[in-house]
Each structure stands twice: as C-alpha cells, then as structure tokens.
Amino acid sequence: MEWLFVLIALLLAIPAGYILRILTLDEIKYGKFYFKLIIIISIILGIISLLIPIDIILKKTLFFGFLFMAIVSFMSWLK
C-alpha cells in the first residue's frame, strides 16, 4: 500500500512539471542550464541517499523527494 502512495506522488510530478513550465515560460528560456543542474544534482543526491547508513524511512523519504524534484525539473525543462 505504501508503494501505491509513492507511485501516485511520483505520477503527480508530471503535471506539476507541466504547470511549472506553463507558468514560468520566460524564466525557463534563460534558466535551462539551472534546470539541467537541478536534474543532475537531484539524481546524484537520490543515489547517495540510498547509500548512506540512515533509518529506512528517512532513506525512502530522501530518495523519493529527490526523485520528485528531478521529475518536476525534467518535465519543466523538456520542450
């Protein structure tokens, strides 16, 4: 059941990215580099969060939080 909530939350990142792209169209033109940087850093930190020895609940929260940020940034950056 927990994975269902995580899947729904990650699927909600897609429309959130599209809405962000629509609302910030001018900023995205000048900030494509920063969106790429956010995507790369989020993926790297997500992988690092899986490798550090912390509580499993915190590990999942960090990983899926960084994954959510990467998806939102990717959908905003994608043209």
For the entire predicted model, the pTM comes to 0.86
How large is the average pLDDT for residues 23-32?
A: 83
CB 77 within 8 A of CB 28: yes
9-18: average pLDDT: 90
Closest Cα to residue 15, out of 72, 56, 77?
72
Q: Is 79 helix (H, G, I), strand (E, B) or coil?
A: coil
| Structure confidence at residue 26 as a pLDDT band (50, 70, 90) | confident
Place of tokens 């962000």: 20
What is the pLDDT at residue 9?
Answer: 87
pLDDT tens for each residue of 36-77: 999 999 999 999 999 989 888 888 889 999 999 999 999 988
Output the DSSP codes for 54-69.
--HHHHHHHHHHHHHH
Calculate the CA 45 to chain-centre distance. Answer: 11
